[in-house]
Amino acid sequence: MPHPEPQRSHHPIILFDGYCHLCNGAVDFLLARDRRRVLRFASLQSGLGQRLVRRCQLGEPPPDSIVLVVERRCYVRSEAVLRACRYLPAPWKWCAVLRMVPRPIRDGLYDWIARQRYQWFGRREQCRVPGPEDMDRFLE
């Protein structure tokens, strides 16, 4: 079930682990394919990321999860990833059909990858700094 989000936004916001190479790769993937420039980004470690996680009633920033904030709702884990794909052009937006897979199966796979992500992909020494061409898409 999505969590309430108290603040309305015209753009969906993706909160990601700014230290994780896999997570930053996912952000690069989304940036390259979001031709309409709809998605906005902030790291979970940023002040905004921490405030949104608290407002979404998710407790401490979930270190193993991406968070998608859309208007008044928050989505985590596999639901966040699949809903984010809706903002991309075909064929990527068709990934949303994977929501038909039961959430426990999707989230189980998501959690397994999340637990291994630093071991498999590494960890950055500092959070991502966006390039000038994408600065307007990063909120903090």
* Model pLDDT for residues 93-112, shown as the tens digit of each residue: 999 899 999 999 999 998 89
Q: Give the pLDDT band (50/70/90) at residue 68.
A: very high
How many Cβ atoms sit within 10 Å of the Cβ of residue 127? Answer: 17
Interatomic CA distance for residues 51 and 48, integer angstroms: 5
Interatomic CA distance for residues 81 and 12, integer angstroms: 12
pLDDT of residue 5: 41
